[in-house]
Every structure is written in C-alpha cells, then in structure tokens.
Amino acid sequence: MVLSDTVRHSMEQSSWIRRMFEEGNNLKKRYGESNVFDLTLGNPIFEPPDEFCQELKRIVNNPLQGMHRYMANAGYVETRKAVAEYLSVESGTEINQGDIIMSCGAAGGLNVVLKTILNPGDEVIIFSPFFPEYLHYIHNHNGVVKVVSTDEQFIPRFDELDNAINSKTKAVIINSPNNPTGAVYNADFVHTLGKLLEKKSLEFDSPISLISDEAYRYIVYGGIKCPHIWSYYKQSFVVNSYSKDLALPGERIGYIAVHPELKQHDEIIAGLIFCNRVLGYVNAPALMQNVIRALQGVTVSIDEYQRKRDLICDGLTSVGYNVTKPQGAFYIFPEAPLKDDVAFVKELSQHKVLVVPGSGFGYPGHFRLSYCVKDSTLEGSLEGFGKIAQKYKAA
C-alpha cells in the first residue's frame, strides 16, 4: 500500500468545508455560477486595499537587490521590527523583532508552534465549535486533541476547562474572533483564563502554553474590542495572518509573536526558527514580507463586512432561523431547522445553496455560512433557506 493508513484515515475525515466547496464547484458547472449560492469557504470577495496595491507596485517597479533570495529563517529583520513596533503600541507590551517569526500564514505559524512545544502524547485543548484543521495540525506533531464545550453564546465553559486540564496538558488554543461563530472573547474572559492557566501550571509544575489564533483580530464590529492575551498571561504565543484583514489568503503571509517573558524564551525562539525551516516552510514569502512591512494597521473595509453581516442575519431571521449575531470575523453559525445538520445541508444543496454542517466543527445541530461573498449570493440564498425553514416549521 503506497498511501499511509494515517493519511487515508485523515482524508476520510477531511474537512467538510472543502467537501462542500467541491460540491459547489460541481453544481456551478451544471447550473452556472450565478445560479448557485456558495457560502462555504472563507475566501474574501474583496480585493486588497489600495495601500497594498500601491506598495506592491512600488516594490516591483523599484526592486531591492537580492529581494527574491533566501533570508534568515525567522524573516527579514526590518519586517519583524515593523510588526513588533505595531504590536507593542497596540498591546501595551514592549516587544522587539527578536520576539517575532514571520510565517506562511496563521496555519503555518500554528504548525510551527505545535511542533516546537509538543512531545508525543501531549494534550492540546480546543473549544467546540472549532476550526476543523486544528485536529490535523495537532495530530501532525503527535499531540492529542482534547475538546471542551462552549455555552449558548459560544464562549468556553471554565468549569469544563478546569476539569479537562491535567498533567499531560501542554497547550490551550483559543480563536477570537472565532471561526465558525464570530464570537469575541472579552477582557474578563481572557483575565479569568489567564488566572486558571496560572493556577493549573503551578498545580502540575509544568507551564501550560496559551496559543491565540488571531487571524480575524481586526474584523470586529460595533466598537467591540479584542483584548490582547499578553496583558493577562505570559506563557503565550500569538499567531496571526494578513489573509483576512488585507484579503490576501493566497499569499500565505503571517507571523508568530512570543511574549517577551515566556519561560525559556530564547530556547523557544530558536526552536520556532528551526521548526520553520525543517517543516519545509524555510521562510515566509520574501515579496510579501517586503510589502506588508509598510501596511501595519491597514485593513479592508470593516463597514462593508458589517453591512453584509446585517444583510444575511436579518434575512435568515426573517425566514425563521435562530441566529446569534457574530461580533467579528465573517461567519454565522445558526441553528439548523432539523437536528441532523448533515441531512439539512444536503437538502439545502438541492436548492443550490451551499453551507457547511456544524458537525464538521464538532458542534452538531448548527451550520456555518460565510458572508465574505457577493450581495447577490447572500440575497439569492434566502429563497432556499426559506423553503427549508417553512417545510420543517410546518412539520
């Protein structure tokens, strides 16, 4: 057998997001793209901001000598310095370029962190509903996934987290703003989380790392603030990406930021740099490092995302769905009108509307839709949503 058993099993359990995305492509071939309402993938419809295009043109038209060569595995010093300066002001924690590793997006950064800190059998806690690729990232590095539930507003339950942490717990991953729910963890939550992890680290005489996946940090609505974990817990890593706030998912550019007072800081930084190399990333893309250096704090139009959020939330509510309005990111995670969310998604696809079942995020009975799409796709989906809701309401 050429294909490994592990990969075969992982493929069988592969992401519902991609599965439904492929189903959408098949439907588009049969019925035409304008007749299919694909809400599966978080692939922003917006083009990057003008500032990005201007900086890209400037660099391409005035190339730096050697700018396409290898650099240090951690990335360009100038880029890491720019990221560190921006984060220092924003977070209130003084960091420098030595605390930053440029990465191939947040996905690459998460894999680098996990490989650096995990021994075989170490447990990593995640919260349902969760981004499904976390399962694979943890398994990639011989870790064990432990899932803790959330409440009705999709906020993790501290009593269950307390019970879940044991001597094998190596890390906790949080994702705020959250994919798939759009929930944002406030300062009180992060403060309580930090205190709990401090207590448990002392109890088991072993530091528990907090890994904060912040790919949607700058996509928040209504003046809501996304607190920095560094103010509340020192044994922490921030992993971020420019994929969403600059609409650059295909460019694979992000970073890992390490709290300056992390235990064994210098050894961990050396480990991150080593793992960035041996995982095959080698270094983050050189051209994108040069471009984003000057774009700290620049984002796509958040008002436009908020308008799309309100459009689809109001539309779903009007046809009978129970929707928790997201505070950030560009996903909604409503209740399905029948308990079997997979059956619901399959039936909805017969109306040429594509969403992802909550089971794919470890949270059955719900479904995820992405609203980073054209208005016509959002508006066109409501007829199919309404027909299904009316059918099961009548039943």
Strands 37-38, 236-241: pairing is unpaired
DSSP code for 209: E
Q: What is the CATH number of the domain that holds 329?
A: 3.90.1150.10
pLDDT tens for 83-132 read 999 999 999 999 999 999 999 999 999 999 999 999 999 999 999 999 99
Distances (CA, A) of 158 to 125, 135, 199, 240: 12, 21, 13, 25
Taken in order 93, 271, 195, 137, is the CA torsion positive or negative?
Answer: positive
For residue 59, tell me if it sits in a domain.
Answer: no
pLDDT at 283: 97
**Domain boundary pick from 241, 266, 292:** 292
pLDDT tens for 334-373 read 999 999 999 999 999 999 999 999 999 999 999 999 999 9
245 and 306 part of one domain: no
Phi, psi of 127 (to 5 degrees): -115, 135
For residue 54, tell me if it sits in a domain.
Answer: no
Question: At 328, which amino acid appears?
Answer: G
For residue 248, tell me if it sits in a domain.
Answer: yes
pLDDT at 28: 77
The half-sphere exposure of 132 on its side-chain side, counting CA atoms within 13 A, is: 19
**Calpha distance 88→91 (Å, rounded):** 5
pLDDT at 15: 66
For residue 58, tell me if it sits in a domain.
Answer: no
Query: Tokens 């959020």 sit at which residue?
Result: 309
pLDDT at 9: 72
132 and 276 part of one domain: yes
Identify the burial level of 50 via C-beta atoms within 10 angstroms of its C-beta, where 0-12 means exposed, 13-18 middle and 19 or more buried: exposed
DSSP code for 33: G
73 and 45 part of one domain: no
Phi, psi of 298 (to 5 degrees): -85, 140
242 and 305 part of one domain: no
Phi, psi of 370 (to 5 degrees): -100, 135
Phi, psi of 78 (to 5 degrees): -65, -40
Specify the number of domains making up the chain.
Answer: 2
Question: At 188, which amino acid appears?
Answer: D
Distances (CA, A) of 292 to 59, 200, 245, 347: 11, 38, 12, 43
The model's pTM: 0.95
Distances (CA, A) of 63 to 54, 68, 172, 185, 288: 14, 9, 42, 42, 13
40 and 74 part of one domain: no
pLDDT lower than 70: segments of the chain? 1, 11-15, 18, 394-395
384 and 319 part of one domain: yes
**Domain boundary pick from 265, 292, 319:** 292
pLDDT at 393: 77
For residue 362, tell me if it sits in a domain.
Answer: yes
103: which strand partners?
254
**Calpha distance 350→347 (Å, rounded):** 5
Range of the domain at 383: 5-49+301-394
pLDDT at 344: 95
Q: What is the CATH number of the domain that holds 189?
A: 3.40.640.10
For residue 330, tell me if it sits in a domain.
Answer: yes
37 and 75 part of one domain: no
146 and 282 part of one domain: yes
pLDDT at 19: 73
pLDDT at 14: 64
241 and 107 part of one domain: yes
Tokens standing for residue 202 = 């002392």
**Domain boundary pick from 246, 268, 292:** 292
Say whether 232 sits in a helix, a strand or coil. coil
